Amino acid sequence: MAKKGAARKDVPTAPKGMRDIVGNEHHKYQGFFEKASEVALYYGFQPIELPMLEREDVFLSTNSEDTDLVGKEMYTLKTKGGDKLALRPEGTAPAMRAYLEHGMQSQPQPIKLYYYGSFFRHDNPQRGRYREFRQFGIEMIGSPKSVSDAMVIYLTAMILSDVGLKNIVIDVNSIGDKDSRVPYLRELTQYYRKHINHLCANCRERIKTNPLRLLDCKNPECQPYKEKAPQSIAHLSLASKAHFKEVLEYLDALKLNYRINPYLVRGLDYYTHTVFEIVEVPDAKIPDAPAENTTQLEETVEEKGKRTAKDEREAAANAPLALAGGGRYDYLAKRLGSKKDVPAVGASIGVDRVLMSQNYKAVTPRIVKKPKIYFIQLGFEAKLKSLEIIEVLRSARIPVAHSLNRDSLSGQLGTAEKLEIPYAIIFGQKEALDGTVIVRNMLTRSQDTVKVAKLADYIKNIK
């Protein structure tokens, strides 16, 4: 006999890093998506359903080869017609593809979209990291304004706090625009070249291919060099600095708990200006409150960066998982072939990780109703007509539970009691012949005989 819990050898299992989501767990996901959609709709976002597969180019053209997402993590396939497609690893590039494809530039800007569903990355499965995972994403396309960055960050934080998450901290950074990036990358590369012999193999490669990602390295041997590395916030162009300052002003005004994290660059290439990630931390680790006013902020942008370097090292040991991330991506549209740049900002929430939080308060999906009635049938005559009675209740939108496979009265009553359902309908041979049912109050045990034709009204009128 097979060991308990072990799958039989000849039964296939779900692919590594992917899983079935069944029953209550499914409701948890659905409840989250409903809640998040409600918040997004409230703020004027409209739903978009993106295909699971995109042309590989949508991702290849938007990222340099060194991004993990393109280098190793993308699931790709060739269709029978020879097209190269990829299972979507993220939603931002597809959303921008849809915006351009449907000429949404000609509508009033910005276009605000939300979407949710599965995304796929061929990564090593570990805590909070799957190969198929679910994201809820929001994108605000066509606005260069700092208020859009703030709104996206705020909305993301509000969705997380609406589902019960506590002690949410927003890590925020600015990686600037083109004018900031060129001199900054030159300095960063020069700095790292001096230490090249002490860096991990990945970082040595990144110096050539994608120097910004040197700051993303989690390898302990690279940490001391990362801490002393030049920081992007110290190299912002005037325009980038003004944009970032405004974003921080909004975050202050909105009383969001944030900290400037100079190492935050995010894995994808197309980000500009604001980048952010949201984590949930234990009480003790809540960082200092944001600076009180912007003058102070202006003076401390660089100092704050230095202070957080130490915090970062302390936190690195058991860093909390990022629950959401996002940023501005003003150059993505051109990479997808648009003649003009389209300023945009977005975020995505890692729903699997949110549901793993101890503080997550499951939201019941609207279609799931607590049963008001437990339907009990006795004898073959009654069983034959059971579905008709259940349908009378369903079409009157009265939530009903039942187990037609069971036969005994006591067993069925026991289940009704266990589920704490307030009323039972008892439907036996006699009732089946008379066209009636017995409605039993499970608390007082009082019973009424009711005509099937009057059943829905009767139940709607009981308190």
Least separation in angstroms between CB 139 and ligand AMP = 12
Q: Which of the 8 DSSP states describes residue 15?
A: P
Q: Of 116 and 374, which has the nearer Cβ to ligand AMP?
A: 116
Angle between helices 146-162 and 238-253 (to 10 degrees): 40
Q: In the Cβ-directed half-sphere of 278, how many Cα atoms lie within 13 Å? A: 28
Q: Which residue is nearest to ligand AMP (CB)?
A: 350
- Residue 164 is assigned to a ligand binding site: no
Q: Of 259 and 353, which has the nearer Cβ to ligand AMP?
A: 353
- Residue 38 is assigned to a ligand binding site: no
What torsion, rounded to 10 degrees, do the Cα atoms 264, 268, 270, 273 define?
-10
Angle between helices 238-253 and 178-194 (to 10 degrees): 100
- Residue 99 is assigned to a ligand binding site: no
Least separation in angstroms between CB 430 and ligand AMP = 57
Q: Of 264 and 376, which has the nearer Cβ to ligand AMP?
A: 264
Least separation in angstroms between CB 280 and ligand AMP = 11
- Residue 135 is assigned to a ligand binding site: yes
Least separation in angstroms between CB 327 and ligand AMP = 9
- Residue 266 is assigned to a ligand binding site: yes
Exposure string (b/e) for 99-138, b if CB count within 10 Å is 16 or more? bbeeebeeeebbbbbbbbeebbbbbeeeeeebbbbbbbbb
Question: Of 374, 393, 389, nearest to 434 (Cα)?
Answer: 389
Partners of 173 in beta bridges: 275
Residues that bind ligand AMP (CB under 6 A): 90, 121, 123, 128-130, 133, 135, 267, 322-325, 348, 350, 352-353
Give the β-pairing of 272-280 and 322-328: antiparallel
- Residue 42 is assigned to a ligand binding site: no
Least separation in angstroms between CB 172 and ligand AMP = 14
Q: Of 20 and 292, which has the nearer Cβ to ligand AMP?
A: 20
- Residue 429 is assigned to a ligand binding site: no
Q: Of 123 and 227, which has the nearer Cβ to ligand AMP?
A: 123
- Residue 139 is assigned to a ligand binding site: yes
Pairwise CA distance, residues 278 & 322, whole Å: 6
CA 110 to chain centre: 22
Least separation in angstroms between CB 268 and ligand AMP = 7
Q: Of 180 and 348, which has the nearer Cβ to ligand AMP?
A: 348
Q: Of 160 and 297, which has the nearer Cβ to ligand AMP?
A: 160
Give me the DSSP letters along 143-207.
Answer: ---HHHHHHHHHHHHHHHHHTT--SEEEEEEE---HHHHHHHHHHHHHHHHHTGGGS-HHHHHHH
Least separation in angstroms between CB 69 and ligand AMP = 8
The distance in angstroms from the start CA to the end CA of the chain is 53
Q: Indicate the annotated binding residues.
A: 90-92, 121, 135, 139, 266, 270-271
Q: Indicate the annotated binding residues for L-histidine.
A: 90-92, 121, 135, 139, 266, 270-271
